[in-house]
Amino acid sequence: MLRDPRRIAVAFAAIGAFLHLYAPQAVLPMMANEFGVGAADASLIITAGTLAVAATAPFAGAMSDVLGRKRIIVIAMALLLIPTTMAALAPTLQQLIFWRFVHGLLLPPIFAVTIAYIGDEWPPGESNGVFGIYASASAIGGFLGRFITGMLMESAGWRGGFLVLAGCTAVCLAMVFFLLPQERQFVRASNFAASGRQMLAHLRNPRLLATYAVGFGVLFNFIATFTYLSFHLAAPPFNRSPGFLGAIFVVYLLGSVAALWLGRAINWLGRRTFVLCVLGVWACGLLITLLPSVIAIVAGLAICSTCGILTQASSTSFVAITAKSGTSAAVGLYVTSFYVGGTFGGYLPALAYEAAGWPASLSLILGMIAVQAAIVVAAWKN
């Protein structure tokens, strides 16, 4: 990896994109207490960002199909410094939600376009490995965002943690600007209308539609699991601290390591068989979290995070490889479906949690995994 600056740049783009998006999860119970709201209202701090991502991802993809890849990525990362800083300074819940929404608007031009860049610039035999690096770095970014805010909660508050993450974003921007070369294999769409036609063509592709549905379920499961297990662990009888809630996201690093072998695993088992196995293990990991033991819950989270990262990496690489033209638009549609799933995963399980606690939220997640498995069996081919 170190011999290819492009791969390093891809990793920093992924880290920079995911540092902030889920950072509130580790401290969401404390943020809810500060603003005097319940779990459902506090979940808007996260879902505002995911909803914004879902709304803009296809248009970011279409824009990059016309304007190019690196230019869009760098501009978006530079603009990202504004909402990441303003969110830390927001005095009210409404203003915080607003800046989180603005933050979400700027993310698709980073990660959706980076995925398209990989699909364009590496041959199919190598791209699965690069997608593994991207997925691994995304997991590291997601972990760092939660870990830093959780660890700094007692000494600097969540606002101080957010400001530290803004500084980390600036570092990622510099690395991408200097290390990511201008795209060479990119085939520019003639205009936005042509890119729009390519997008409509993707919506008529059954295999892509099935993959978009799988992506919907991935983030639904992720957001629901980590958000409401945080509430579960913060409540009696566990009563865990913000620092502990931030530290448990170290389990993300297991998934980031596993993703580096994604290409080999898919080549060995075939994509459909591999993902079905991963979904089965994911369901088992969720059931472990029902045990009344912090150690068991953390072990279950480790399994869930690893399976989610592997499923996500498999799906995004499949989209980039399947789309023969308008790759960025195809990835943008996937990202939209993915974050619509995250929006529902942030809110619907909140209602279940408030009604009957973590077991009720878990039942929704298991149902989603069953739907994903059925889609993979019906629509994917090895």
**Number of Cβ atoms within 10 Å of the Cβ of 154:** 11
Query: Looking at residue 61, what is its pLDDT?
Result: 66
Rounded CA-CA distance 320/125 in Å is 13
Model confidence, pTM: 0.74
Going from the C-alpha of 259 to that of each of 68, 189, 213, 318, 352, the distances in angstroms are: 28, 32, 21, 15, 32
Residue 191, pLDDT score: 61
pLDDT of residue 371: 96
The b/e string for 221-239 (b: 16+ C-beta within 10 A; e otherwise) is: bbbbbbbbbbbbbbeeeee
159 to 42, 204, 335: CA distances (angstroms): 16, 45, 28
| Ranges of residues in the chain whose predicted pLDDT is under 70 | 1-2, 61-62, 66, 186-196, 324-326, 382
One-letter identity of residue 272:
R
Q: Average pLDDT of the chain? A: 87
pLDDT of residue 189: 59
Q: Which two tokens stand for residue 99?
A: 């800046």
d(C-alpha 77, C-alpha 346), whole Å: 25
pLDDT for 196: 67
C-alpha separations of 24 from 36, 48, 53, 228 in Å: 16, 12, 16, 12
Q: Which of 104, 114, 110 is nearest to 75 (CA)?
A: 110
Please give the angle made by the CA atoms of 328, 200 and 339, to the nearest 5 degrees: 55
| pLDDT score for 382 | 56
Based on its alpha-carbon atoms, the radius of gyration of the chain, rounded to whole angstroms, reads 19
